[in-house]
Amino acid sequence: MSDQNENENIPSGQKFYNNLILLFILGFVIMLVSYTGWGLYEILVQPGLPK
Give the pLDDT score at 33: 94
* pTM (global) more than 0.85: no
> Average pLDDT for residues 2-7, to the nearest whole number?
58
Query: How many angstroms separate the CA atoms of 39 and 47, rounded?
Result: 15
Looking at per-residue pLDDT, the higher value among 51 and 42 belongs to 42
CB 39 within 8 A of CB 33: no
Does the pLDDT value for residue 8 go beyond 80? no
